[in-house]
Structure 1
Amino acid sequence: MPKPMSFALLFSGQGTQHPAMLPWLTDDGLVRAMCVRLGVDDWRHALMDPGWAARNDNAQTLLTGLALAAWSQLAPLLASPAAVAGYSVGELAAFSAAGVIDPTTAAALAPQRAAAMDHCAARAPGGLLAVSGLPEQQLEQLRVETGLALAIRNGDASVIFGGPVAALEDAERLAAAAGAQVTRLRVNVASHTPWMREAAESFSRTLAEVPFHAPSVVLFSNAADRIRDARSARVALAAQIAQTVRWDDCMEGVLARQVRCVLEVGPGQALARMWNQRYPTVPARACDDFRSAASIAAWLNGHADR
């Protein structure tokens, strides 16, 4: 096995997908299989329709397939990473990159995960709201007052709330009045909240039939800290659908591996930007920053080779 290099992989969640993302990605077998699942000939052209791009089932299938393809095309140019984590649906690709499930299985699980979540959302429409710039105590007061749940914790002063549409609208108004930065995310489900409990249970039953393996590299979970064996991987991958994503803890775990640099695999630069704001001495870049797989590998090799 190649000696691990001192870099980490962070796999993006949904919300920043766009037609020009991952400009260097080639149409390999994983990409073509993804397009078949989506029922499209050209995924970039499909993303030009904002309504299509915002659909939960399309987004989860698309982002998982593209992340798997991106890492498949990068991996031959690199040694093993020192740590891996995935943000929300990014965990499917992250668990695959860590050797827990194979890429074909991970790609097939994405639409099943989305279907379970959409089934819940059909009965209880909801969404997500990003709020930052308020003290932690004030954020918690806002959550309690509006009846929302803490869906994602990015830091003490940066969170994402989830819940019913009416409650999200109340929270958006109150947070903006308090001077917070507020953004409604382009998702139509209350991911990572108790409103998704039935989806988590359904996905757990799906995963019970899937072969899982112990991670081959250090793997951090949104819901269960470090994953060390197949059983805990299976439990964590389902549980995070209805539990808070503790991304701040994931980042702390990755940093503790003493990585020298971080690569975000997926669309946009949200995770890389978040990392750079939190840990400015450990550089992070996103796959979207580059024009070729070779240039990504050159940057990683230049920073991470021991």
Structure 2
Amino acid sequence: MSFALLFSGQGNQHPAMLPWLADDAVVRDMRARLGVADWRGALADPAWAERNDNAQTLLTGLALAAWKQLAPLVAPPAAIAGYSVGELAAFSAAGVLEAGPTLALAQQRAEAMDACAAQAPGGLLAVTGLSGPRLEQLCVDTGLALAIRNGPESVILGGPSAALGQAERIASLEGAQCTRLRVNVASHTPWMREAADRFARALESVSFHAPQVALFSNAADRIRDAAAARHALAAQIATTVRWDECMDNVMARHIHCVLEIGPGQALARMWNQRYPTVPARACDEFRSAAAVAAWLTRHADR
């Protein structure tokens, strides 16, 4: 069986996500940390759902629980990667971190980023349809930074709110498709440098292990040991997420299918557009863990 796991980032969380997920010990730990009895009910409030501290803790906990409940039903994956905050769950799934410390780190990561955002409010803007040189010039003209690179003409820009508005107006007039993301921090840009440094200090006291499977980072390509894992988790907060390269690295493992763990199907769609011969599905599409496992087994055993 040869498949890859991709762990989603934030922005697509919704009350009906992962309908098959059981309320296990990891979910209960997450609920306790968030102070909510019903996480689906909490997600029904957009103001609560879009708060960075709530979203990062919730998505990390749900991803950890989802993989814990799926893992006994399938063989180990051949490769793992996570998108933005999804790296925390990805590193845990690869054996780098235990679930409890990973949830605590999600809270610390969000706190560090929110502290930066309080000093320099900002956000993220998805832009599709502009060439590489034009995107570079747009960043120069507006003062924004490249936060995430999904493909040659599909990126996410980050920076102050006013600059995001300016970039959206310019890019839209040039025929680009623009979408403001449901986040209130300029993740993966230089505006998060203090957050990256603060998180690096938090990671020093946490026990890390070498990955047990091929693990790829947004900021440092393949992670082979504990030191590299610790560095990568902090660095990606303030540097560009090279998701296109992550996908290429995963594909190089000769996998037969891909499973996205988290809300929505954004990563599965990107994968299917880039590699149409290797199918990808999202856990959010299934009604039971058994159905997820059956799909994985059917395609990964080809």
Q: TM-score, normalised by structure 2?
A: 0.99
Question: Residue 245 of structure 2: which of 209, 225, 249 is its match?
Answer: 249
Distance between the aligned counterparts of 2:270 and 2:34, measured in 1? 30
- Aligned ranges for residues 224-235 of structure 1 at < 5 Å? 224-235=220-231
Which residue is equivalent to 1:190?
Answer: 186
- Aligned ranges for residues 105-116 of structure 1 at < 5 Å? 105-116=101-112
Which residue is equivalent to 1:157?
Answer: 153
Report deviation, 1:137: 1.3
- Aligned ranges for residues 263-274 of structure 1 at < 5 Å? 263-274=259-270
- Per-residue Cα deviation, 1:66-109 (whole angstroms, up to 9, x for no partner): 00000000000011100000000000000000000011111111
Question: Residue 69 of structure 2: which of 73, 78, 86 is its match?
Answer: 73
Distance between the aligned counterparts of 2:212 and 2:28, measured in 1? 27
Distance between the aligned counterparts of 1:71 and 1:14, measured in 2? 17
Which residue is equivalent to 1:202?
Answer: 198
Q: Secondary structure at the match of 2:44?
A: coil
- Per-residue Cα deviation, 1:258-304 (whole angstroms, up to 9, x for no partner): 10000000000000000001100000000011000000000000010
Q: Does 1:298 align with 2:298?
A: no
Which residue is equivalent to 2:278?
Answer: 282
- Aligned ranges for residues 48-67 of structure 1 at < 5 Å? 48-67=44-63
Letter matched to residue 124 of structure 1: A
Which residue is equivalent to 2:216?
Answer: 220
Distance between the aligned counterparts of 1:114 and 1:156, measured in 2? 29
Distance between the aligned counterparts of 2:298 and 2:101, measured in 1? 33
Q: Does 1:121 align with 2:117?
A: yes
Q: Secondary structure at the match of 1:243?
A: coil
Distance between the aligned counterparts of 1:125 and 1:67, measured in 2? 28
Distance between the aligned counterparts of 1:231 and 1:305, measured in 2? 34
Moved over 4 A (4+): none
Q: Does 1:144 align with 2:143?
A: no
Distance between the aligned counterparts of 2:301 and 2:277, measured in 1? 17
Distance between the aligned counterparts of 2:201 and 2:208, measured in 1? 14
Report deviation, 1:170: 0.3
Q: Secondary structure at the match of 1:295?
A: helix
Letter matched to residue 86 of structure 1: G
Report deviation, 1:135: 1.3
Report deviation, 1:134: 1.3
Q: Secondary structure at the match of 1:70?
A: helix
CA RMSD for the aligned pairs?
A: 0.6
- Per-residue Cα deviation, 1:204-251 (whole angstroms, up to 9, x for no partner): 000000000000000000000000000000000000000000000000
What stretches of structure 1 of length at least 5 have no aligned partner?
none
Distance between the aligned counterparts of 2:270 and 2:258, measured in 1? 11
Q: Does 1:240 align with 2:220?
A: no
Give the % identical residues. Answer: 76
Question: Residue 86 of structure 1: which of 82, 89, 111 is its match?
Answer: 82
Q: Secondary structure at the match of 1:61?
A: helix
What stretches of structure 2 of length at least 5 have no aligned partner?
none
Distance between the aligned counterparts of 2:134 and 2:31, measured in 1? 44
Q: Secondary structure at the match of 1:62?
A: helix
Letter matched to residue 108 of structure 2: Q
Distance between the aligned counterparts of 2:89 and 2:160, measured in 1? 28
Q: How many correspondences in the alignment?
A: 302
Q: Secondary structure at the match of 2:130?
A: coil
Q: Secondary structure at the match of 2:28?
A: helix
- Aligned ranges for residues 12-51 of structure 1 at < 5 Å? 12-51=8-47
Which residue is equivalent to 1:98?
Answer: 94
Report deviation, 1:161: 0.3
Report deviation, 1:56: 0.2
Q: Does 1:167 align with 2:163?
A: yes
Q: TM-score, normalised by structure 1?
A: 0.98
